[in-house]
A and B are shown apart, each in its own frame.
Chain A
């Protein structure tokens, strides 16, 4: 380096000189710093950096996982909700059908019963009527006979009765006697 000193005024002023003592001091200072800082500062700091990176990465991973899990659960919930809605609709529909069937059955049975009732009533009416008619007929005959007998008894004397029997006898066929 000393040979450069004549090249330019700047170098000639001595700032390009190498002072071995200074270089050695710089080396000693630097190595001491390297030892002290490396052992007590850089090591712990870098370790902490690594730890923090790991923590953050894990936090992100677990957050991602939890999110996926939550999404999956949400999808499941949605699916089950849809399922439940469909099922409820089906049940409602089925109930409606059942109610309809039951209604029809009940109606049919009611109608049948009513018909039967009507038919029975009608039959009974007919029976009662015929019985009444028969009874009436008997009574009418008795009344007629009674009336007739009363009428006949009042109008016929012995002579008339004789006449009537003779007429009747005359009317009979001759051959048979």
Chain B
């Protein structure tokens, strides 16, 4: 019961970040102004508005919805990346729920290398915080490491054993699993922690950003190709691209196989991204009903949002699992001698 209440408050606070934008939008959308205030702002809307107004000129121009104060705009703003981090704290001499830290102002142009803009964004910071949390959790857990384990180490070891015994060994094989285990474990824990971290109030989900998921997918792609080339040799690797068919069919098969190489990481990229974005959208849409209809729908909205939030915790694990499982599967299929090659050779 206490946990339920806490999560409800957390959800309310998550949305409170957007009060600053939602409140002035009252005349545009159906949400009454008092409803926006009751949602968690309670007078914080005014300083939020000014802070936002100050920050606006420095923001990324890529249309992350920061200026769109409709419900859809707020949702887009929640999931999209930017250079402004909103947090509760003391700013402008008073406590506020939506203090802003503009990274663009902090770093200026110091991290711009030609066309490459390395200025950390909100998602970079969130990713770093999640990674720091991951390191903290793992290394504090390691103190309980023993042949008869203690405390939180049991849980970390459970996940490690799960990745090893249920993902790596069945798909890669016991002989080669050890080599790829560090990559799979890091991918699993990184995705898990970034996913879960994004569920905290005021945090953002870096894995709900294509730029991050594409990076992970590319890493899996590189590891997969490395595994395949190591196992089959460069000749066997290229031969596999021809699918072992008659050379006359190469003009069809080679593009298909090459396409096949890239659809896998593409699917990885989009799956993780879409899953992480979708949950946030659903939660925000449910809580948005409070603003769009009436404050009196809040029991239904909060209950449903809470259910989705629970689901999101599960999804965080599932997506980490799926990404790792598919990576292991691709690595394993790269290592193994391919079925259709053998079939083709048998026909000769």
- Give A residues with C-beta under 8 Å from B: 1, 9-10, 12-27, 29-30, 32-34, 36-38, 40-46, 48-49, 51-52, 55
Contacts and interface: CB of A to CB of B under 8 A. Distances in A.
21 contacts: A9-B72, A15-B277, A21-B119, A22-B81, A26-B127, A26-B211, A26-B212, A27-B218, A30-B219, A33-B135, A37-B135, A37-B185, A37-B189, A38-B182, A38-B186, A40-B139, A44-B142, A44-B145, A45-B156, A46-B160, A55-B147
B21 interface: no
Nearest to B72: A9
Given A19-B81, A20-B116, A48 B147 contact: yes
Contact of B214 (A18, A25, A40): A18
Contacts of B145: 44-45, 48
A9 B70 CA distance: 13
Nearest to A13: B76
A14 B139 CA distance: 37
Contact of A22 (B123, B183, B216, B219): B123
Interface in B171-227: 178, 181-183, 185-187, 189-190, 206, 208-212, 214-216, 218-219
Given A37-B182, A42-B181, 14 more contacts: A13-B63, A15-B64, A21-B111, A21-B118, A21-B121, A22-B81, A25-B118, A26-B127, A29-B131, A30-B216, A42-B160, A46-B160, A46-B178, A48-B157
B157 A1 contact: no
Given A12-B63, A14-B65, A24 B116 contact: yes
The 6 closest A-B pairs by CB, nearest first: A38-B182, A26-B215, A22-B211, A13-B76, A14-B62, A34-B186
Contact of B80 (A14, A40, A46): A14
A17 B210 contact: yes
B213 to A, nearest CB: 9
A10 B277 CA distance: 11
A17 B214 contact: no
B214 A23 contact: yes
B161 interface: yes
B186 A30 contact: yes
A54 to B, nearest CB: 10
B182 A30 contact: no
Given A29-B127, A41-B138, A15 B80 contact: yes
B161 A49 contact: yes
A15 B72 CA distance: 13
Contacts of A22: 81, 121, 123-124, 209, 211-212
B215 A45 contact: no
Given A1-B210, A23-B211, A30-B216, A36 B116 contact: no
B52 interface: no
B197 to A, nearest CB: 13
A29 B120 CA distance: 12
A42 B157 CA distance: 9
Contacts of B62: 14, 17
